[in-house]
Every structure is written in structure tokens, then in C-alpha cells.
Amino acid sequence: MMFLVRMDVRIPHDLPATDVDAIKLREKNYSQDLQRSGKWQAIYRVVGEYANYSLFDVESNDELHTLLSGLPLFPYMEIHVTPLAQHPSSIR
């Protein structure tokens, strides 16, 4: 199942910088592991925002929820999920 996911990150300004740096490092490692596994197919930065669009290929809604809620930045994110289906005009 393919999903387009927009993630907007809103880290509280009063969170200590050392905590933020540690969370971001864990986030990078976690997301890169998911990319290597093929579950997280692509990630694109939204220009001028602390946000991204990502493409996930997972087995179920529940798997996507588990992966997203496992993100270290999850508590500081607003996430919008769009399920995708094959377009009948696609040549792929």
C-alpha cells in the first residue's frame, strides 16, 4: 500500500538544544533505516518550512501508523496521510 505523508515539525522553543540534537540524530538514524528497508521510498523537503513529503510502501494502515508513531520527532509533528492508488493512465 502506497501512502503520501506530509510531516510538519513543531519543536517547542523551550526544549533544550541538547535534547533537540539527540532527538534529531535518533530521527535521522530511524528514517534512514526505514529508507534502506524500502518502507520509506522517498523524502522531499518543503522549501522554506520545517516539513517534508514522504512516500511510504507498507503492508497496511496499521504498519504505517506503527512506523510513523515510532519516529522520535512524532510528539512534535502534525502528520497528514493520503492513501494512493495506481492511476489508470500510468505506464509503470
Give the domain range for residue 45.
Answer: 2-84
18 φ, ψ to 5°?
-65, -40
Q: Copy the grid coordinates of residue 49.
A: 518550512
Number of domains in the chain: 1
* String of DSSP letters for the chain: -EEEEEEEE---TTS-HHHHHHHHHHHHHHHHHHHHHTSEEEEEEPTTSSEEEEEEE-S-HHHHHHHHHTSTTGGGEEEEEEEE---TT---
pLDDT in tens, 28-61: 999 999 999 999 999 999 999 999 999 999 999 9
Q: What is the CATH number of the domain that holds 78?
A: 3.30.70.1060
pLDDT in tens, 62-91: 999 999 999 999 999 999 999 999 999 999
pTM over 0.85? The answer is yes
